[in-house]
Structure 1
């Protein structure tokens, strides 16, 4: 399969040949106004310099880096916006859906960077409430200077922190949240002009895309975390190998299994079986899966039983090829998934959750769990320190509540239930 970039006629692209192309291309002229260094000193410089494509690219790069950052660090981007517009503050206010008066402010003002609550009483007074999404406005679009000076919002919230000139845009994301981008200058600076608006109008679509990207990536991380936790709680270890057969990821269950080095281990970054015969079989399956991946055929799934030095029941190992798409090329591309299950492992589900699912008493639930883990009724009674007759009485009650007639059937429905996915 050819590269996705080759398909799009970028096969000959070389960053070294294009490093300087965008450096001095002005997008438009901008009057740079130095930000306030304190509440009393404000530079009134009006030196014109171009806002180049390179400068705009740097700001948008910071935007998308923030979107992909698991910790969502937006301050560097806000700082770059603040510097570009000669502002004293650049802030992003987050308002969740259904809570228009609540929010969180992420601000940048030179050395001052902070995350703070956006109080209800302040939000209620804001003149920018209810603006159409993605529209750039300033205070003077909404109020006269006299109205702004007389407003409670300005006097109670903006005046003391030197926020006189305000340029604003509300960005609505696909999950229903509203993000308010605010840039401010002190009174001694000039108001935001048409060139400032032009810059903001170019920036707002990127802010919207970056925020939606952040939501998607964050949601994907959450989903992956949930899937990983579910497989771990079901005692299924998952090891992901790249196109060279090197381990690039493993879930908690697989990590625990590999750390035991009881039949399976990672050596030199590669998954190996301890015994030579088992390892030959395992490596053959991995090679076959890698060849299948490179050929872009149907995914294959094969299994092998791997012996353990401890003498416990063998590991059950399944090897499956991961078919690529045209965008999953490059280093450490997921190519093979290896699933490992302890066939003799004992599970310990949440007793409370099992009670809720099967409407059992705590004592009945404890007995059912022991039976599901393979103990006989006599062995379970001994482990639970109860009389055998008591265990028989519990079992009759369990049969009645679950609608089963045999112990083997009880074990089957219990093992197939979602009780094993609950937190302990």
Structure 2
């Protein structure tokens, strides 16, 4: 397989990963013998983005801050039909462009004296271009090579932008559920965690949930097995619509719902969400309140956990039993809690913990 064929085969993988584009563009520039191969564009009304691996980052920032809106040559390229290859010197706008500050203060110092542009577009509305910059006028071989790659580049860009839009939609879903106080995780079709929101991250951080070998797990063997069964049913019998369960744990039960995600063939199979898991902690609001009070009053973790147990059970003795400590220990911790918070009765403590204000 020659270099040109390898570059074509790389494009399918490059389309799946934003981070892969700079390396591909650098190899493509080397293959063409170009100073730079840059790609940029934007959604309608969106912010222009540019991937230019050979360009000094300071110059990239200057371009976006000062020159992009003045780049009449690039705007002319973007008005052309997707897939069109244009030698920039042949555009009517080039004469004026060659006298501009953008050309003389930005392009020339980087040896971007000449260019060949490929107009690109996507069904998502994204419009952009790939520009091959050279010191000398582009050769016929460079132009024909870009034309030969144009269909493959257009196809890769289409897949890249569609995937980006789908990932954004998934991210917005996770963020919305986060605001609603729900832990949420997207799983792939083998049950591995693809993405999760802040609530789910907190549950993993304090052990209410676990991830082992990339898969969601319960904190205890029995709950772990039940959760695995729920996820398996959700992934492999999606027509049943998923299911619910109570997930037992040391800090109380969690309510777990698993729902299949309809297949979308624009997503490559390894990155396609197969299911979404929603986790509700009935004590979550109180847990956040106690955490805030712990920071405010300097409660220890043991004292905060006892305070939570007092609210749940309504009595010190029952709280001690729930926590697995002696009544003497619970009495000592409760005295310390009273001293730190300034309350004198359990009813006052409960009111303090449950007060949202």
Tell me what 2:341 maps to.
none
Bigger-Rg structure (1/2): 1
TM-score after normalising by structure 2: 0.60
**CA 1:104 to 1:236, structure 2 compared with 1: closer, same or farther past 3 Å?**
closer
SS in 1 for 2:218: strand
Cα 1:289–1:78 change in 2 (3 A) is closer
3-state SS of paired residue (2:139): coil
Count the aligned residue pairs. Answer: 290
Against the structure 1 CA distance between its residues 200 and 253, is the aligned structure 2 distance closer, same or farther, given a 3 Å change threshold?
same
TM-score (norm 1): 0.52
Aligned to 1:416: none
Q: Deviations over 1:126-152 (max 9, x none)?
A: 795565223212245447xxx959951
2:32 matched to 1:91? no
Aligned equivalent of 1:208: 154
| Cα distance in 2 between the residues matched to 1:327 and 1:205 | 18
Which residue of structure 1 lines up, in the alignment, with residue 321 of structure 2? none
Which residue of structure 1 lines up, in the alignment, with residue 120 of structure 2?
171
**1:341, CA displacement in angstroms?**
1.5
- Partner SS, residue 25 of structure 2: helix
- 1:182 equivalent to 2:131? Answer yes
Name the counterpart of 1:192.
139
The Cα of 1:200 is off from its aligned counterpart by 1.2
SS in 1 for 2:38: strand
Q: Is the 8 A contact 2:191 2:231 kept in 1?
A: no
How many angstroms does 1:83 deviate by?
1.8
Hey, what does 2:24 align to over in structure 1? 77
Counterpart position of 2:232: 290
1:115 is aligned to 2:63:
no
Aligned-residue RMSD, C-alpha:
4.8
Q: Any idea what SS the aligned residue of 1:115 has? A: helix
Segments of 5+ residues of structure 2 without an aligned counterpart are 290-346
Change (3 A) 1:330 1:77: closer
Determine if contact 1:299/1:321 at 8 Å carries over to the other structure. Answer: no
Q: Deviations over 1:262-305 (max 9, x none)?
A: 5x65567562353x7xx27x6356436525744x4622444333
Post-superposition CA distance 1:194-222 (Å, at most 9, x none): x3332211222333333332322222222
Kept in 1, the 8 Å contact 2:184–2:277? The answer is yes
